[in-house]
């Protein structure tokens, strides 16, 4: 038996596990304990702004009421805690997606939503269209189902597409990893493409609420509902989450889609974990009904300041030839280094020699990798630390480019 196929002596692993790599981000997260590292790596919300008190009050209220306490500790329905499904249906309607609870499945974070959608739609070898670069967590969820990746073409047309992809996966707002967003015209072009190919779109709404400048744009699902007359006529699947607005450890996310798709996803959810924690869903509901808007307003203010500090530091410290995105929201800035430079090498040296954790861009490309890229996350670093981290990165880039340091 092949050694690489063995998980432990005598334990043969399924073929699909062979290509699965550990996440560089998760590895870097282990460094969090080390105080001296400045973390521009993982896309974590800053725990200093978690709504600790409101969560404590919500828990106390649940456990003070014996009926609520029993519900909280029992298996929830696989579809989700009914009042939260109801709330989410209203929330999606407020975003231009009129729907009912039958259009909502509550998941363990939106990551589980992506996993269940992969199981629903991907057969081994089937084409799946992705933006390049794309969110690593989505790629890992898709990888397990062994798709064949096809890059979304820059002109968003079907030119050159010979086989209809099972779906295209997109982050329309401040996407992970680049921080960039789709314009309204691009959103319409994608819906045209989806219609031309009869191809579902999987819309990742993770960062939708974290806008710092400019006007909110309608989601792809909202635009499609307007085009088609309702969610039941749409072939889009939308994933949402409370992770970046309340707290990731609640693990409460959701999928919104046409009810026949939700009914099938419920079967996959049952096979995966039976249900999301009722307690966590009840806490999420109490906060969604209460402090969600003020929590969002607070983190928006904090992250806006951090983004501005990092953009200013990049302008001050990066040598000519380095480019970066200027996101209107989200948690990420994407650096493009001069052609030929290795973002992986930069990330390694930045961590080891300069105590700055970043993520090399190559990890976000399952195909057509562009190694001269790097993702910086500004969510975890106060403004002074961001400036210092970027100063160190600038010196390192100059060193790697062979240009004399300008201090």
CB of residue 135 vs ligand PLP: minimum separation in angstroms?
4
CB of residue 114 to ligand PLP, shortest distance in Å: 7
Backbone angles phi, psi at 331, to 5 degrees: -125, 0
**Order of strands across the sheet that contains 104-108:** 104-108, 252-256, 237-241, 201-204, 168-170, 127-130, 148-151
Q: How near is the Cβ of 25 to ligand PLP at its closest, in Å? A: 9
The smaller minimum CB distance to ligand PLP, of residues 284 and 389, is found at 284
**Residue number, 54 or 248, with CB nearest to ligand PLP:** 248
The DSSP line for 40-103 is -SS-PPPGGGS-HHHHHHHHHHHHHSHHHHHHHHSPPPTT--HHHHHHHHHHHHHTT----GGG
Report the residue number, 176 or 234, with the smaller CB distance to ligand PLP: 176
| Residues at the site binding ligand PLP, with contacts judged by CB under 6 A | 43, 109-111, 135, 137, 171, 176, 204, 206, 241, 243, 248, 253
By beta-carbon proximity to ligand PLP, the closer residue of 140 and 387 is: 140
- The partner residues of 127 in beta bridges, in order of sequence, read 148
Element (H, E) at 186: helix 184-197
DSSP 318: P
Q: Looking at beta carbons, which residue is closest to ligand PLP?
A: 109
> Please, what is the minimum distance in Å from the beta carbon of residue 251 to ligand PLP?
7
**Shortest separation between residue 67's beta carbon and ligand PLP, angstroms:** 29
- CB closer to ligand PLP, 127 vs 248: 248
Closer by beta carbon to ligand PLP, 12 or else 26: 26
Task: Give the sign of the dihedral formed by CA 382, CA 383, CA 386, CA 391.
Answer: negative
Spatial CA neighbour of 337 closest among 356, 354, 314, 357: 314
Query: Closest distance between ligand PLP and the C-beta of residue 44, in Å?
Result: 8
């Amino acid at each position: 038996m092949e050694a690489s196929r063995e998980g432990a002596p005598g334990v043969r692993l399924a073929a699909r596990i062979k290509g699965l790599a550990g996440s560089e981000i998760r590895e870097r997260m282990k460094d969090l304990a080390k105080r001296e590292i400045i973390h521009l790596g993982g896309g974590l919300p800053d725990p200093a702004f978690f709504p600790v008190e409101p969560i404590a009050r919500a828990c106390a209220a649940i456990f003070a009421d014996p009926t609520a306490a029993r519900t909280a500790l029992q298996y929830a329905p696989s579809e989700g805690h009914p009042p939260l499904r109801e709330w989410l249906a209203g929330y999606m309607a407020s975003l231009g997606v009129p729907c009912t609870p039958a259009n909502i499945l509550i998941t363990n974070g939106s990551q589980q939503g992506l996993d269940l959608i992969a199981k629903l739609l991907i057969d081994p070898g089937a084409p799946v269209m992705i933006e390049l670069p794309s969110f690593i967590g989505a790629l890992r969820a898709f990888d397990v189902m062994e798709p064949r990746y096809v890059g979304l073409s820059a002109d968003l047309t079907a030119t050159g597409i010979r086989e209809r992809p099972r779906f295209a996966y997109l982050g329309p707002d401040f996407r992970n990893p680049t921080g960039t967003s789709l314009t309204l015209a691009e959103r319409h072009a994608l819906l045209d493409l989806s219609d031309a190919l009869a191809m579902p779109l999987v819309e990742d709404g993770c960062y939708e609420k974290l806008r710092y400048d400019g006007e909110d744009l309608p989601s792809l699902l909202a635009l499609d509902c307007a085009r088609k007359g309702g969610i039941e006529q749409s072939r889009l699947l939308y994933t949402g989450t409370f992770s970046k607005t309340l707290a990731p450890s609640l693990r409460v996310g959701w999928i919104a889609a046409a009810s026949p798709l939700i009914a099938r996803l419920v079967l996959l959810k049952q096979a995966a974990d039976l249900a999301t924690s009722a307690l966590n869903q009840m806490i999420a509901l109490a906060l969604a009904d209460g402090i969600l808007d003020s929590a969002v307003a607070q983190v928006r203010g904090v992250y806006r300041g951090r983004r501005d500090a990092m953009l200013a530091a990049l302008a001050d410290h990066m040598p000519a030839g380095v480019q970066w995105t200027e996101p209107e929201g989200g948690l990420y800035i994407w650096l493009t280094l001069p052609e030929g430079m290795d973002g992986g090498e930069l990330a390694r040296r930045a961590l080891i020699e300069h105590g700055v954790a970043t993520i090399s861009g190559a990890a976000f490309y399952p195909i057509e990798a562009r190694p001269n890229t790097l993702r910086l996350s500004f969510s975890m670093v106060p403004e002074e630390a961001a400036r210092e981290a970027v100063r160190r990165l600038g010196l390192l880039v100059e060193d790697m480019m062979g240009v004399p340091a300008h201090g």
